[in-house]
Structure 1
Amino acid sequence: MAGNSQEQAQNGEAKRESLVELAQRREGERYALHSKHLNEMWVRVLKTIGWDVGFTRGDGAYLYDRAGAQYLDLMSGYGVFALGRNHPRVRDALIEVLNSQSANLAQFDVSVLAGVLAERLLARTPWLDKAFFANSGAEAVEAAIKFARYATGRSGIVHCAHSFHGLTCGALSLNGDEIFKKGFGPLLSGVREIPFDDLGALEEALSGHDVAAFVVEPIQGKGVNIPHADYLSSAAALCKKYGTLFVADEIQTGVGRTGKFLAIEHFGVEPDMVLLAKALSGGHAPIGVTLTRKWIFDKVFDRMDRSVVHGSTFSKNDLAMAAALATLDVLEDEKLIENAAAKGDRLLASFNKMAERYELVSAVRGKGLMIGVEFGPPKSLVLRATWNLLETASAGLFGQLICIPLFRDQKILTQVAGHGNPTIKLLPSLTLSDEDCAWIERSFDQVIADAHHAPAVLSLGKTLAEHAIKARVNS
């Protein structure tokens, strides 16, 4: 009987379909499965705006749908795919680790790969001394909050309006958009929001000597808001004056995104902590890291019995460490940071020329390959009527009038830069080529030109407005 059971098990194993076969067989159920078992509202969003094409493959800066159509991805997984999708060197590094049968996550030991990765990241930030690895950007933010509170003995945290630092409860407390926070309170006490790029408001917030940390994105992701040249250096000086730690959230802006390894380098600032994630993953293995000064780290982990007061089960896992090490290698060897700077300069120049030609384009902002194209009320009466219709239905809805035809007609994937924000954000892979830039320039020019023709705008705008009003009534 035992022999028969073993034979049956072997036959069953032989008949079991591969994951690729499983995905192909059930492709037609993609949206039904998610509606039934996951987030039905997200499926409704995709279907409403016509994005339910079913992406099945990714290669570099491109996505391919179930029909084989190629799209240029200007979202890159919210900045995760800085190297492009499925970079072979990252994939090879992961395969190498899997084949090595490493003693991964032996919790009563330490990882060599984690030590090497920490060494390389700290070489990029030579004023910092210690690294704490986590599984995501939000976890890196949570670590920064805890470390700052413990090291300073204070509880206050200051962040900026329109900020985004993650959606776990601590990070959510620092969110500058109320839609994310509604219904999830009470959140952390002692948190104060101030306007971005306002030194007077920052000094007022710090003057009580009760703030542990000022947590700020050097360039805000929600809107691609760039501060004045001296804001961050002056903010760092104020933090030092009042005994507050300066924390740079580089989760989206870091790892080459803005044409430098860190966005903070554009402003000549050395923060007390730097937070990284997203692109550091190589697009394969989730990772986050909090880089910090030694005295802060040593305050938290000051005795052997406190060596485990903060941690994360899967942090420092060999797959994440290998992916990050491969990512750093690719950045250097393929000169992707330099490419981000050059291609960003080209696209910014092109968008600024569009702003001169088209009344709907009100501003263009960015550094490297983090670019925002903002739309504003037009002067012509017919276009202004459409603008007012959309803004009345839902603030920032006009941006979808650009995103939808970009996707549908030009095969470019992008999105508005935040809830209620009329800015479209470009966050492409740093591998962008001259041909890709030409594709972007040609497509935006065509879609923006079309948006100035009232009949087409009114038709799509009316549809979007009806959906927005219906959603608001049903909420």
Structure 2
Amino acid sequence: MTDPRSSVNGSRPAGFDLTALLAARGAERYALHERHLNPQLPRMLQTIGFDKVYQRAEGAYFWDAEGRDYLDMLAGFGVMGLGRHHPVVRQALHDVLDASLADLTRFDCPPLPGLLAEKLLAHSPHLDRVFFGSSGTEAVETALKFARYATGRPRVLYCDHAFHGLTTGSLSVNGESGFREGFAPLLPDTPIALGDLDALERELRTGDVAALIVEPIQGKGVHECPPGFLRAAQELLHRHRALLIVDEVQTGLGRTGDFYAYQHEEGVEPDLVCVAKALSGGYVPVGATVGKDWIFKKVYSSMDRVLVHSASFGSNAQAMAAGLAVLSVIEDEQIIANARATGDLLRSRLTALVDRYEFLHAVRGRGLMIGIEFGRPQSLALRSRWTVLQAARKGLFAQMVAVPLLERHRVLTQVSGDRMEVIKLIPPLTIGEREVDRFLAGFTAVMEDAHAGGGLMWDFGRTLVKQAVANR
């Protein structure tokens, strides 16, 4: 029998050649997206000047065809926690592919899922079991199902402006109306204001609440739970026999300077925790729902219910190997300590600019999850410009900052949410003082231009105003 890994010439298998395909057709990338995928994506990128062509990436940097480097302060919306192509994760994937494991037979118990669960639970001392899926939204869906089944109740509470995913269940606990519009009816879930314990207690008194799901720091706008809220909410929920679900899809695995963001508040022990994004190492999608023993045993209560909740690609060998490598790197390379120290440095240096620039109103966040908020300036000339932008569409000024950061300073950032005047920084957790210096140099230059009242930044602002008015 011929070894399927062998090749005609001894160097590579015959047949499909990915390198040749990309060389022949890589230049068609934007046209292919416009024809076959989401047609609005290339249009949006071209409108705001984000239609770059990146050729390669490593760590916290991209390079274009001319060899110019770009600093990544976005990390693929938090997926690239260790930066791109970390050698340890890359090697683990080579190793697992070379092992030719009998993967996803569905009628065995391979070692890798158990080993990854064991390692993840070592960072989750009050939790006992793990379900592996393929994404953050799948982790949330699992938590919603488990909470409803374990409590026997239908309703889940969530917070205004929350983001928990875009499938129907997770969309039901999504606090942004723009994502929900046109997809009703959704599940019978109810929003409360972030930090509103009175509203939480009112809803719990009805007796039909299964759980509250909450982000310790909301991705949209980078708003942190008020001090003491998670602990007090947990006590209220348990008093009413409801569960606390903490969504750590973006904040987990060291992003905020602790393994989980909820661990910044003493005494918080969620019943279910959702993890994904950075656990993948940026290679193979993986999500995890980590929970208490009694919840899992209630869901999987008999052999008849062994497959009552499962995932076709959950626990696949490549994802498990990537997760194990990621957790090992986090431990071995002191990633969490670096996120805390570098985040403190970046946040303190940004905060020092608040009194210097009228447009800059606040800097907030923890670790390497930082929100930079812009607001109405005091001086008359700048205030009139701000008013024009706000009348056209809220959020345009933040976009006016993000675009020259990329175009002129080769720094990739993102606006934190629709109609939000906030730039969110979620860079790879491996960045250091050099990257902080580079970001601050670019950001300061953009702020200087904005306050000068002219130049390319405001020319671009006029383009955005016209686009916003045309889309009304």
| TM-score (structure 1 length as normaliser) | 0.95
Equivalent residue number for residue 54 of structure 1: 53
Match of 1:265 among 263, 285, 289: 263
Q: Work out whether 1:205 is the aligned partner of 2:203.
A: yes
Q: Is the 8 A contact 2:248 2:274 kept in 1?
A: yes
Whole-Å separation in 2 of the counterparts to 1:24 and 1:132 = 40
Whole-Å separation in 1 of the counterparts to 2:282 and 2:342 = 21
Q: CA deviation at 1:25?
A: 1.8
Deviations 1:60-96 (A, max 9, x none): 0011123322100111000000100001110100110
Whole-Å separation in 2 of the counterparts to 1:333 and 1:124 = 14
Whole-Å separation in 2 of the counterparts to 1:428 and 1:275 = 21
Q: Letter of the aligned partner of 2:242 in structure 1?
A: T
Equivalent residue number for residue 4 of structure 2: none
Q: Work out whether 1:166 is the aligned partner of 2:165.
A: yes
Equivalent residue number for residue 228 of structure 1: 226
* Aligned positions of 1:178-257 closer than 5 A: 178-189=177-188, 191-257=189-255
* Aligned positions of 1:320-339 closer than 5 A: 320-339=319-338
Whole-Å separation in 2 of the counterparts to 1:262 and 1:24 = 42
Equivalent residue number for residue 122 of structure 2: 123
Equivalent residue number for residue 133 of structure 1: 132
Q: Work out whether 1:429 is the aligned partner of 2:431.
A: no
* Structure 2 residues not aligned, in runs of 5+: 1-6
Whole-Å separation in 1 of the counterparts to 2:460 and 2:289 = 44
Q: CA deviation at 1:343?
A: 0.3
Q: Letter of the aligned partner of 1:163 in structure 2?
A: A
Whole-Å separation in 2 of the counterparts to 1:62 and 1:471 = 34
In structure 2, the residue corresponding to 1:237 is in which secondary structure? helix
In structure 2, the residue corresponding to 1:356 is in which secondary structure? coil
Whole-Å separation in 1 of the counterparts to 2:232 and 2:423 = 29
Equivalent residue number for residue 109 of structure 2: 110
Whole-Å separation in 1 of the counterparts to 2:340 and 2:153 = 39
Q: Letter of the aligned partner of 1:264 in structure 2?
A: Y
* Aligned positions of 1:323-472 closer than 5 A: 323-456=322-455, 457-472=457-472
Equivalent residue number for residue 3 of structure 1: none
Q: CA deviation at 1:264?
A: 0.5
In structure 2, the residue corresponding to 1:447 is in which secondary structure? helix
In structure 2, the residue corresponding to 1:455 is in which secondary structure? coil
Whole-Å separation in 2 of the counterparts to 1:102 and 1:78 = 31
Deviations 1:366-421 (A, max 9, x none): 10000000000111122112111111111111101100100001100001111111
Q: Letter of the aligned partner of 1:415 in structure 2?
A: Q
Q: Is the 8 A contact 1:53 1:66 kept in 2?
A: no
Change (3 A) 1:298 1:16: closer
Change (3 A) 1:285 1:17: closer
Q: Is the 8 A contact 2:169 2:187 kept in 1?
A: yes
Q: CA deviation at 1:24?
A: 2.1
* Structure 1 residues not aligned, in runs of 5+: 1-8
Whole-Å separation in 1 of the counterparts to 2:42 and 2:354 = 34
In structure 2, the residue corresponding to 1:452 is in which secondary structure? helix
Q: Is the 8 A contact 1:82 1:282 kept in 2?
A: yes
In structure 2, the residue corresponding to 1:401 is in which secondary structure? helix
Whole-Å separation in 2 of the counterparts to 1:127 and 1:70 = 43
Equivalent residue number for residue 71 of structure 1: 70
* Aligned positions of 1:266-285 closer than 5 A: 266-268=264-266, 269-285=268-284
Q: Is the 8 A contact 2:450 2:458 kept in 1?
A: no
Whole-Å separation in 1 of the counterparts to 2:72 and 2:199 = 38
Whole-Å separation in 2 of the counterparts to 1:16 and 1:275 = 41
Equivalent residue number for residue 146 of structure 1: 145
Q: Is the 8 A contact 1:386 1:461 kept in 2?
A: no
Whole-Å separation in 1 of the counterparts to 2:326 and 2:251 = 15
Equivalent pairs, count: 462
* Aligned positions of 1:21-100 closer than 5 A: 21-100=20-99
Q: CA deviation at 1:14?
A: 8.1
Whole-Å separation in 2 of the counterparts to 1:29 and 1:299 = 51
Q: Is the 8 A contact 1:111 1:316 kept in 2?
A: no
In structure 1, the residue corresponding to 2:373 is in which secondary structure? strand
Whole-Å separation in 2 of the counterparts to 1:461 and 1:207 = 49
Q: Is the 8 A contact 1:340 1:368 kept in 2?
A: yes
Q: CA deviation at 1:44?
A: 0.4
Query: More helix per residue: 1 or 2?
Result: 1
Q: Is the 8 A contact 1:406 1:412 kept in 2?
A: yes
Whole-Å separation in 1 of the counterparts to 2:157 and 2:254 = 26
Q: CA deviation at 1:21?
A: 2.3
Deviations 1:411-465 (A, max 9, x none): 0000111111101000000010211111011111111121112123532211111
Whole-Å separation in 1 of the counterparts to 2:225 and 2:369 = 14
Q: CA deviation at 1:196?
A: 0.7
Whole-Å separation in 1 of the counterparts to 2:212 and 2:179 = 21
| TM-score (structure 2 length as normaliser) | 0.96
Q: Letter of the aligned partner of 1:184 in structure 2?
A: F
Q: What RMSD over aligned residues (CA atoms) do the two structures have, in Å?
A: 1.4
Q: CA deviation at 1:17?
A: 6.4
Whole-Å separation in 2 of the counterparts to 1:27 and 1:468 = 32
